Structures are given as C-alpha cells and as structure tokens.
Amino acid sequence: SISAHLKAYKKMCNAKKQFAGFLFMAVGAFLGFVSCVLSLINPTPELYNVILFGLTSVAIIVIFIGMYCVFE
C-alpha cells in the first residue's frame, strides 16, 4: 500500500514538472517567433541587434529549460 502511494506521488510530481516543461517550451517558441518577426519587420533599426541576438538567446534558453524539465 505504501509503495503504491509513493509511486502515485512520484507520478504526480513528474506530471507537474512535465507540464511546466511543455509550458516553458511553448513560451520559448513564442518568444522565438516574435523575435523572428520583429527581426524581419525591423520596426526600430536601433534595436535590431537587441531583438535579433538578445530575444532569440532568451527564447533558446527558455526552450532548453523546458526541455530539461520534460526529459529529466
């Protein structure tokens, strides 16, 4: 009985972590898409490098955090 409860608890914790991981990956993908669109549109030429390199780097980091949570 105790081992069944522990198994269910671990499964619940892993499900929460996996959901958070998929959420991080979705947010990172959205940020990557936004940075791509803003780089192509180029609304403010002064911020082109910040958008292209900064926002894309943040998007990649968020995606990798999500992948870590999912695949751990």
List pLDDT tens digits, range 51-72.
999 999 999 999 999 999 999 8
Q: Which pLDDT score is estimated for 28? A: 98
Question: Which residues, other chains included, contact 28 with Cβ-Cβ below 8 Å and sequence gap of 6+?
Answer: 59, 60, 61, 62, 63, 64, 65, 66
Q: Which pLDDT score is estimated for 67? A: 97
Question: Which residues, other chains included, contact 40 with Cβ-Cβ below 8 Å and sequence gap of 6+?
Answer: none
Give the tokens for residue 57. Answer: 């780097």
Q: Please give the Cα distance from 35 to 26 (Å, whole number).
A: 14
